[in-house]
Amino acid sequence: MQGIFKFLKSNWFHFLVLLLAILTFCYGYYVDPLQNERIYLRTIYQFHRRIYDATLGHLPFAFVYVLFLLILVWLGKGIYDTFKFIRERKFLTIFLRLISSAGLIYFLFYFLWGFNYKNRPIHAQLNLPKIQVDSNMVYEDAFHLIDVINTLRDSLSSDTCHLSEMLYNKETEDQLRASLTQLFKKWYLPIDGRVRVRAIAPDGILLRIATAGIYLPFAMEGHIDKGLPKVQWPFVMAHEMSHGYGITDEGECNFVAVLVCANAKDPYIRYSGLLSYWRYMANSLLRIAPTLGQKLVAKRSASVKNDTEYIKLKLNSYPDYLPVVRDQIYDAYLKKNGVASGIQSYGTVINLMQKWKFSYHNRDLYEEMYGSQVTEQLNEKRK
Ligand SMILES: [Zn+2]
């Protein structure tokens, strides 16, 4: 009996971590989405944001580098302790330490951000209309937007060669945040804190695992690959920033990112967002309705064509490591967290945009993108 007490006393921290992990599991299992939005998204998560963004968010470099060093030290200590316990034949302690380490990662992931997976999807939070999206609607949207994109592109530079990387504005992160918080306010979504998105080195570090950006709950910041073509930076930054404001689904973050960019003042940011969205539509049509897709692609101006080719060229210079394994891991991760469509969820941006077009949200922005005449047609369709 005394031995058990001694074991409990000397390992109290690891038992506490296990208890937290169990409570995390129980909360996630029993909470319903509306309750979670009230308890977690609108209260606990906002508290995290205010603390983090007022402190580590002001570091002149990404916290992820410090986190990486801390993980190395933690692993080093773990290995040292394990060898010590093997010599002392304390196998139960090794087992306890292993599961408490997994428990700590599990607890921190959900407590710092992951409980947002339990919120309602954005189409439910925004009460977007339930409409059936078909390829003609997508074609009409893309057909209209390519004119807007061609004009925007011409306003940035008259040179038809791909856009110079020099045109990227250093204020982009702040401008995106201003645009995002303006949108979220109108949607009654919480906006405490000041989510950071950092460009991390070396070039290709994320692109080689086939992702342009990543939001790390343990670092509470979004990250984009420094090697990403600059014209994609605003869109990918807006995507990662939406994760930081509590959106978990990839397609929903893309949807928010399109609107955040379209709502920004800087034409470079608007161009980045609309071009990314247009490319989603064009690629999807090229797959399901190739004739329509080809008709669309032919409508790009020479400058837009050169920009997209430059994007492809630059991305191809960072080929994937083990793409199949990476896809399977990420797919399993998304499905485990309740994103039924897994990796395909990135493409739901198209559906969400069509639903948003038929909603009553942000009509000023809608008119800016589609013109006031289209609003009249939309009102007709709604009747
Ligand atoms: Zn994402």
My answer on whether 360 and 294 are in the same domain is yes
Residue 340 scores a pLDDT above 70: no
Pairing of strands 221-225, 213-216: antiparallel
Q: What is the pLDDT of residues 212-233, one digit of tens each?
A: 899 999 999 999 999 999 999 9
Model confidence at 155, in pLDDT bands (50, 70, 90)? very high
How many whole angstroms from 334 Cα to the centroid of ligand 1? 11
Is the model more confident about 347 or about 124? 124
My answer on whether 72 and 146 are in the same domain is no
What is the total count of domains within the chain?
2
Residue 343 scores a pLDDT above 50: no
Q: Going by C-beta distance under 8 Å and a sequence separation of 6 or more, which residues neighbour residue 361?
A: 126, 128, 186, 187
My answer on whether 93 and 174 are in the same domain is no
> What gap in Å lies between CA 198 and CA 226, rounded to an integer?
9
The most confident of 1-15, 64-78, 368-382, by mean pLDDT: 64-78
Q: What is the pLDDT of residues 278-303, one digit of tens each?
A: 999 998 888 888 898 999 999 999 99
* Structural domain containing residue 314: 127-382
My answer on whether 360 and 281 are in the same domain is yes
> What gap in Å lies between CA 262 and CA 307, rounded to an integer?
18
Average pLDDT of every residue of the chain: 90
Neighbours of ion ligand 1 (CB under 5 A): 250, 253
How many whole angstroms from 240 Cα to the centroid of ligand 1? 6
Q: What is the DSSP letter of 114?
A: G
How many whole angstroms from 34 Cα to the centroid of ligand 1? 23
Q: What is the mean pLDDT of residues 243-260?
A: 96
My answer on whether 262 and 218 are in the same domain is yes
Q: Please, what is the angle between helix 250-262 and helix 172-186, to 10°?
A: 100
Residue 89 scores a pLDDT above 60: yes
How many whole angstroms from 89 Cα to the centroid of ligand 1? 44
My answer on whether 363 and 228 are in the same domain is yes
> What gap in Å lies between CA 346 and CA 19, rounded to an integer?
35
How many whole angstroms from 154 Cα to the centroid of ligand 1? 30
> What gap in Å lies between CA 299 and CA 278, rounded to an integer?
12
> What gap in Å lies between CA 237 and CA 102, rounded to an integer?
30
Model pTM score? 0.91
My answer on whether 18 and 46 are in the same domain is yes
